[in-house]
């Protein structure tokens, strides 16, 4: 099968032009509604907020432990798919426990690094605090949901 690269380039350029034109019309970021899924994503996907980096593989493992086999793709979409599978407060508690367990596993690695390389302690101290804040925030979300049901 012969591939005509000239035609392929023309198609790509046409697609690029359409994308640029549509971008001129509305390239503004949609405003976040601040829903449950967005809030959880905001804290879990930003290492600056949660203290650890959850890779695609980490999110896949979290999903498998929860019982949801998600496709490997953008981390935000993977996490959204897992969160959409939550149907009850018990499911949410189970998911948050799995996430906390995953964060604790990452923190164990950080702790070993600080023990083996004492000069890195200053770097990782901040990570421990942020991870604890994340766990507290997950507990707070769970409490808020329990209060809403009452």
Distance, in Å, from the CA atom of 18 to the CA atom of 8, rounded to the nearest integer, reads 15
Residue pLDDT, tens place only, 88-143: 999 999 999 999 999 999 999 999 999 999 998 988 999 999 999 999 999 998 99
Distance, in Å, from the CA atom of 113 to the CA atom of 106, rounded to the nearest integer, reads 11
From 142, 47, 45, 54, select the one nearest 105 (Cα to Cα). Answer: 54
Q: Which residue has the higher pLDDT, 52 or 12?
A: 52
Distance, in Å, from the CA atom of 111 to the CA atom of 118, rounded to the nearest integer, reads 10
Q: How would DSSP label each residue in 93-136?
A: HHHHHHHHHHHHHHHHHHHHHHHH-GGGHHHHHHHHHHHHHHHH
Q: Which pLDDT value is given to residue 134?
A: 93
Helices (H) and strands (E) in the chain, counts: 7, 0
Distance, in Å, from the CA atom of 71 to the CA atom of 46, rounded to the nearest integer, reads 20
Whether 3 has a pLDDT exceeding 70, the answer reads: no
DSSP 28: S
Q: Which pLDDT value is given to residue 149?
A: 65
Distance, in Å, from the CA atom of 78 to the CA atom of 59, rounded to the nearest integer, reads 7
Whether 150 has a pLDDT exceeding 90, the answer reads: no
Residue pLDDT, tens place only, 17-70: 664 444 444 444 444 445 888 989 998 999 999 999 999 999 999 999 999 999
């Amino acid at each position: 099968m012969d591939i005509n690269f000239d035609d392929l380039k023309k198609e790509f350029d046409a697609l690029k032009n359409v994308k640029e034109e549509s971008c001129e019309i509305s390239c503004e970021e949609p405003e976040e509604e601040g829903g449950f899924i967005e809030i959880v994503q905001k804290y879990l996907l930003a290492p600056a907020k949660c203290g650890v980096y959850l890779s695609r593989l980490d999110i896949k493992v979290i999903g498998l432990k929860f019982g949801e086999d998600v496709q490997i793709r953008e981390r935000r979409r993977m996490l959204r798919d897992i969160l959409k599978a939550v149907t009850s407060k018990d499911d949410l508690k189970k998911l948050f426990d799995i996430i906390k367990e995953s964060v604790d596993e990452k923190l164990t690695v950080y702790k070993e690094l600080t023990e083996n390389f004492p000069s890195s302690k200053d770097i990782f101290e901040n990570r421990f605090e942020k991870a604890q804040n994340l766990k507290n925030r997950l507990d707070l979300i769970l409490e808020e949901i329990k209060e809403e049901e009452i």
